[in-house]
Structure 1
């Protein structure tokens, strides 16, 4: 049975939780080692990067990546979930802003922003998930978290008068709740607000245009074309320089041990001066992709200028 390693850019459809996506992929690919890189609400759609096999070692790095969303915010309403799937707590048709007021309020959230996570979230307080407490009618105090909004662009205000809705594109840091952003914009305007729809369009270098549905994954599997949609782990590090270790020194990287310049293929050290010149090629803590001479990827190493060697930072090689 094949074991798949790498990343898949999944288009999460409405009605699925992020864990539902992982569960179905385990069935499609017949392997357990699968993880996602950032929860999307069940009714939200869009990019959900899923890690397979040794790609799961990238979950933390991918979770840290900047994300982009297109959100529809409805003004004049507040709900217990901060989106339109929840129970309406307050509704009004008064004080719906003009476009210029809306733009001013939206722009106030660009930059660092202390955001209080919603009760309906998977964050834990004293070992309990907030949404579990919320379903019991229990509300607890939540500490604000500093997040960062890189940019907000208002894309459409044509429904502001009749439906009290506008559409915005948000580029933000990890940990940002777009539901809460909609709620907070409504609070700033004095009319209330809730998220009506959400599409995640980007996670790092993964974009909506190249995302595939679960049905499409099944189709690629049946046609034996999964390699067309599984992104190799090393691609994630394509901006780093590559280093190929001599086959005679392969034992070092097979065991995750450090290696030196003398172990690198195509590097000739003719004398002490040549050795010194090569050692100055890399600054301390420079990261490189490491391969053997046959092009097998082993992982990411970091140069240690004090010890004059490359030390493993993140290891991906698995013996067959």
Structure 2
């Protein structure tokens, strides 16, 4: 039996109120790392996130604390906005800067007109093959786990929407510059903004752009600037979140109703409707497609509702009750 130690147990922080925390994820951290740190800051294990960011990426990571974790299912599908840098002339195993280089080509001769034409082809409703190191499951295992084990991974193309794919700047990278070998070909760095549907891989856009231009391509930088209605203006660093929790005694979160108003259409409820929904009962229709945030007279989020036909009548059914009776 090991001897007892006199070291005191770590003090548990007060439990944070139910709500969202929008974090500006630092580079080098996994999304799970951020969740782990937030669990300690929030004094609860009931913390989750609404969409993974790769370790090399920075920017908006939406976390749910307490009952807000139940909202995350509906936030995962929100559209997203990124700023990124695509390097043309170098292809990697992971389609980003963390992978091994598999091919190099001289990209210095790519004309701006040709670049814009291929960017246009990758904009709108497209079929995209995800990166082989994505988190998509293949026969029960993540694609990245199979790829790292040396297995051949083939993923099917799937429909995604790229609402915006804007080129802001194009810079030539000379041999020997910014990680290029002295005796290798020149590359082009392309700064872009991408607004896309959930499930779109910006790494795959970089890969496909390079393939279309016969140069190869990968991401050298990626920053998520928005998820649904949550942008960098709402985001805090982990250091700032910890400082705030230390100063105020408890981690601050975005209240459920405020969080819902940022992304969902809103329906203001009567007292009778709020009571009915709290019991899981259906109410009159909202007249809007998709999930609608139903806010009670006291300003609290009661439920998410969706219009549905039942017995020939259009009604709003609660798909998520957050203020049960």
Regarding TM over 0.5, the answer is yes
User: Bigger CA drift: 229-238 or 281-290?
Assistant: 281-290
The answer as to 2:315 corresponding to 1:289 is no
Partners of 1:4 and 1:26 lie apart in 2 by: 12
Match of 1:202 in 2: 226
Report if aligned partners of 2:132, 2:154 keep a CA contact under 8 Å in 1. no
Distance 1:68-1:302 versus aligned 2 partners, 3 A rule: closer
Partners of 2:60 and 2:293 lie apart in 1 by: 28
Partners of 1:284 and 1:111 lie apart in 2 by: 25
Q: TM-score, normalised by structure 2?
A: 0.82
Report if aligned partners of 1:288, 1:302 keep a CA contact under 8 Å in 2. no
Q: Which structure has the larger Rg?
A: 1
Distance 1:59-1:282 versus aligned 2 partners, 3 A rule: closer
Secondary structure of 2:270's counterpart equals strand
Distance 1:258-1:136 versus aligned 2 partners, 3 A rule: closer
User: For this pair of structures, how many residues does the alignment match?
Assistant: 295
Partners of 2:42 and 2:170 lie apart in 1 by: 43
Partners of 1:112 and 1:96 lie apart in 2 by: 29
Match of 1:314 in 2: 320
| TM-superposition CA deviations, 1:41-76 (whole Å, max 9, x none) | 101001111111111111122111111111100011
Structure 1 residue runs without a partner (length 5+): 260-278
Match of 1:120 in 2: 133
Match of 1:164 in 2: 188
Partners of 2:107 and 2:300 lie apart in 1 by: 64
Match of 1:30 in 2: 43
Report if aligned partners of 1:75, 1:96 keep a CA contact under 8 Å in 2. no
User: How far did 1:165 drift?
Assistant: 0.6
User: How far did 1:257 drift?
Assistant: 3.2
Secondary structure of 2:132's counterpart equals coil
What are the residue-to-residue correspondences of 1:245-284 with 2, within 5 Å?
245-246=271-272, 252-258=276-282, 283=287
Distance 1:189-1:310 versus aligned 2 partners, 3 A rule: closer
Secondary structure of 2:45's counterpart equals coil
Distance 1:126-1:283 versus aligned 2 partners, 3 A rule: closer
Distance 1:284-1:38 versus aligned 2 partners, 3 A rule: closer
Distance 1:254-1:159 versus aligned 2 partners, 3 A rule: same
Partners of 2:274 and 2:97 lie apart in 1 by: 57
User: How far did 1:209 drift?
Assistant: 2.8
Match of 2:143 in 1: 130
Structure 2 residue runs without a partner (length 5+): 1-13, 175-185
Match of 1:235 in 2: 258
User: How far did 1:254 drift?
Assistant: 4.1
User: Bigger CA drift: 181-190 or 301-310?
Assistant: 301-310
RMSD: 2.7
Distance 1:121-1:67 versus aligned 2 partners, 3 A rule: same
User: Bigger CA drift: 108-117 or 90-99?
Assistant: 90-99
Distance 1:47-1:226 versus aligned 2 partners, 3 A rule: farther
Report if aligned partners of 1:7, 1:49 keep a CA contact under 8 Å in 2. yes
User: How far did 1:288 drift?
Assistant: 5.8
Distance 1:68-1:252 versus aligned 2 partners, 3 A rule: closer
